[in-house]
Amino acid sequence: MKRILLSWSSGKDSAWALHRLRQDPNIEICGLLTTLNAAFDRVAMHGVRRAILEAQAAAAGLPLWAVPLPWPCPNKVYELRMAEACQRAVDEGIEAIAFGDLFLEEIRAYRERQLAPTGLEAIFPLWRISTDKLAREMIAGGLRARLTCVDTKQLPAAFAGREFDEALLRDLPAEADPCGERGEFHSCVYAGPMFKAPLPVESGAVVDREGFVFADLLMANS
């Protein structure tokens, strides 16, 4: 059985990758690997709070491997912190890291290049699936998520905070990727077949930071 980590963004693609990976009897998922903006204690880009991230890991029944990053974070620092996490993985007998990337070749090549010296394999369980088909598969399969970050150069700000559902897919501009793979939006998953139970989340403030609109989520019982 291959022991792997899953790169966990808190969003729908990594969550669906977890769901698919769990259907492979030859894979043992050993943890969720996440980078955190240490200045704000949130998942980088997605803007998801640590409390929700930890609740996701608990609902998935997996340990969280949190990698804190300074803000701003030079690429050298990012790569050093990730190299340290990879060394820990190797020391613990982990053989691969899985990613929820969909079709961006340069991102895949970068991940493979960074992992090559470590001996860890890069796995891409959702690679090259039609993103229109994949988005609808996620929704039909019970995944529930909200858009927590929107790039206003690509989408209207009003998309921030919306549910990732069929209505959203119908409203997306024709040039937007249904899964937001080009950075149109980022999401936070709060329910789905990868979780033991839904997370009780509620909407918080919506803020605009340098062209990105973030819709905060809070744990409803916090």
Question: Per-residue pLDDT tens for 8-39?
Answer: 999 999 999 999 999 999 999 999 999 998 87
Nearest Cα neighbor of 71 from 98, 96, 43 is: 43
Of 127 and 40, the one with more pLDDT: 127
The predicted model gives 93-118 an average pLDDT of 96
Where do the CATH 3.40.50.620 domains begin and end in the chain? 2-123
Q: What percent of the chain has pLDDT over 90?
A: 88
pLDDT band for 222, please (50, 70, 90 cuts): low
List the CATH code of the domain at 2-123: 3.40.50.620
Copy the structure tokens of residue 162. 């919306």
Residue ranges of E strands in 95-221: 96-98, 121-123, 144-151, 185-191, 201-209, 212-219
Q: What are phi and psi of 162, to 5 degrees?
A: -75, 155
The predicted model gives 112-126 an average pLDDT of 96
**Whole-number pLDDT of residue 2:** 96
Non-local CB neighbours of 12 within 8 Å, separated by 6+ positions: 138, 143, 145, 164, 179, 187, 189
**Whole-number pLDDT of residue 71:** 82
**Residue bearing tokens 């990879």:** 86
Res 45 pLDDT > 80: no
pTM of the model: 0.95
Question: Per-residue pLDDT tens for 176-212?
Answer: 999 999 999 999 999 999 999 999 999 999 999 889 9
Q: Are strands 212-219 and 144-151 parallel, antiparallel or unpaired?
A: antiparallel
Mean pLDDT of the chain: 95
Question: Per-residue pLDDT tens for 132-171?
Answer: 999 999 999 999 999 999 999 999 999 999 999 999 999 9
Copy the structure tokens of residue 10. 């808190």
